[in-house]
Amino acid sequence: MGAGDTVLRGRHRQGHPRGGRRGSGPARLPAAGEPTLSAPSTISLHEVTVTVDTPGGDLVLLRPTTVELGEHRIALIGGNGSGKSTFARLLNGLVEPTTGTVTVNGLDTAKDGPAVRRQVGFVFTNPDAQLVMPTCLEDIALSLRRSVPRKSERHAQARAILDELGLGDKADTSVHALSGGQKQMLALAGVLATGPRVLVADEPTTLLDLRNTRLVAERLFSLPQQLVLVTHDLELAARCDRALVVDDAAIVFDGAPAEAVAFYRDRVGR
């Protein structure tokens, strides 16, 4: 956020425009050899709004939105400040709704925050926001602490993960000594090591060069987890199964990615 029945189920349940205009095109179906969704999840927003107090008065960050997300990969696209991160942060309880409810597999993000966050991993634009331990090995080991109680086993698994990333020789290196691309791959691996069913990635390639954008994108698109991807990269959005266009704190289009991208380009006049 890999499809088949899951793609169609999420779309059929919704059935009519709720929270925005629906696209009419067919859902994108997975190509042969693509990973399939490991454990279908359902993310539901029911009459959700987000408003914050500011010195200038109430500021609406999300207008009333009802939407259900069940596809393997869902893109959120839209201009700067449109409300994409607000929407993304609602999905793991980083932002709580002012009104309405957000549930992930039946868990309410406002009431069951820790349980939701065990199911929904979040990758930030800037990996420095989530690499918290001094060394690469310790950072991955931190993510494994729940699932692997024994320290020696935890460190062995962390080393194996670093080897897979091509960072085996960086185990004892400071996380701050990595390149931007290496940091983002490490941050992503750290989130995945917690075993989430859903991954929300908020512009994970925005700070990366072309090569690292591709590396991170290939990793994201090879995952069996549901992926919700906030991105300004319209090529990545087009590879998803469904895309939502966010503008002025509302979902203004929701449907097939090619149509969503066309809608967005048209809206910004290019």
Ligand X SMILES: Nc1ncnc2c1ncn2[C@@H]1O[C@H](COP(=O)(O)OP(=O)(O)OP(=O)(O)O)[C@@H](O)[C@H]1O
Which residues of this chain interact with ligand X, rule CB under 6 A?
52, 54, 59, 61, 78, 80-86
Q: How far is the CB of 140 from ligand X (least distance, A)?
A: 27
- Both tokens assigned to 135: 């060394």
Instruction: Please say which residue, 85 or 143, places its beta carbon nearer to ligand X.
Output: 85
Task: Supply angle C-alpha 3, 13, 219, rounded to 5.
Answer: 25
In terms of DSSP bridges, do strands 21-22 and 250-255 run parallel, antiparallel, or are they unpaired?
Answer: parallel
Bridge partner list, 22: 254
d(CA 229, CA 68) in angstroms, rounded, equals 15
> Shortest Cβ distance from residue 1 to ligand X (Å)?
17
Q: Decide whether 7 or 43 has the Cβ nearer to ligand X.
A: 43
If the CB atoms of residues 178 and 216 are measured against ligand X, the closer one turns out to be: 216
Q: How far is the CB of 90 from ligand X (least distance, A)?
A: 10
Count of CB atoms situated within 10 Å of the CB of 14? 18
Q: How far is the CB of 12 from ligand X (least distance, A)?
A: 28
Q: How far apart are CA 10 and CA 31, in angstroms?
A: 19
Q: How far is the CB of 54 from ligand X (least distance, A)?
A: 5
Q: Determine the residue type at 126.
A: N
Q: Which is nearer to ligand X, 54 or 152 (CB)?
A: 54
Handedness of CA 218, 105, 119, 81 (dihedral sign): positive
Minimum CB separation of residue 80 from ligand X in Å reads 3
What is the spatial distance between Cα 139 and Cα 236, in angstroms, rounded to a whole number? 28
Measured from the CB atom, is 98 or 194 closer to ligand X? 98
Nearer to ligand X, 86 or 225 (CB): 86
The phi, psi pair for 52, rounded to 5°, reads -120, 150
Q: Give me Rg for the CA atoms of the chain.
A: 18
SS3 169: helix
Closer of 96 and 112 to ligand X (Cβ) = 96
What is the rounded CA–CA span in Å between residue 216 and residue 199?
13
What minimum distance in Å lies between the beta carbon of 70 and ligand X? 23
